[in-house]
Amino acid sequence: MKKGINKVVKLLILSDIALLGGLGFIAPIFAIFLTDRIEGGSVEVAGFAAAIYLIVKSIFVIPFGKYLDRNHGEKDDLWFVVISTLLVSFVVFGYIFSKYTWHIYSLQALYGIAMAMNVPSYTAIFTRHIDQDKEAFDWSVRSCLTGIGAGLAGALGGIVANYFGFNILFMGIGTLIFFSSFLPFLIKKDIFPSNEKSTRIPKIKTGDDLDLKL
């Protein structure tokens, strides 16, 4: 990353690379996993699984965002990022033990709740700490690195699943995401306490590729 990006933004980008990169391993082979390993699994089930995730996330993301806005300071935002990332790791581990379609649907609902927590909390911290006069650049760096990470992971996901099996793939991804959930604690001293407000509000609207998380 270009010199000049502050510590908070760097750590957030690194955290997102781990999260989105890990999920990138799964995306290309998820439908195959369902048809091969889940009783009653099919392409149709894969479609319903994706729909459950998106609908649940969409239902909860605004209430979570409103809750975070009512509480000035970033401690709650930080904890939302940590907890949501942990929940995603539990979802990935859950795939290992899934046998029936309702297992998958339940995990996808939990995944939707986790990402509904993650999106507003992550973007709130990122926005408050974004570098002055480098708003577009900071978001572009995030988009570039998470995109490359997810792309490379997608290419490797099929290879790992083919040679080592789905369980090894999910175990590795779940472990990566689990440990990445603790990265935000490295910026704990840099977040704004409840009695402070950020003065680093960006001058432009930011919305670039937030749905990479979907």
Express each pLDDT in 77-90 by its tens digit: 899 999 999 999 99
Give yes or no for residue 21 having a pLDDT over 90: no
Token output for 158:
């099929």
Residue 211: inside a domain, yes or no? no
Residue 209: inside a domain, yes or no? no
Report the C-alpha gap between 175 and 89 in whole angstroms: 7
pLDDT digits 0-9 by tens, 112-123: 999 999 999 998
pLDDT average, residue stretch 53-71: 92
Residue 210: inside a domain, yes or no? no
pLDDT average, residue stretch 85-97: 95
- The enclosing domain of 108 has a CATH number of 1.20.1250.20
pLDDT average, residue stretch 92-116: 95
Residue 96: inside a domain, yes or no? yes
Tally of structural domains, the chain? 1
Give yes or no for residue 210 having a pLDDT over 80: no
Residue 207: inside a domain, yes or no? no
Residue 26: inside a domain, yes or no? yes
Residue 204: inside a domain, yes or no? no
Q: Dump the DSSP string for 48-109.
A: HHHHHHHHHHHHHHHHHHHHHHHS-SSHHHHHHHHHHHHHHHHHHHHHHH--BHHHHHHHHH
Residue 173: inside a domain, yes or no? yes
Helix (H) or strand (E) holding 39: none
Domain of residue 189: give its range. Answer: 7-196
Closest alpha carbon to 185 in 113, 125, 119: 125
pLDDT digits 0-9 by tens, 127-167: 888 888 788 888 898 889 988 888 888 888 888 888 889 99
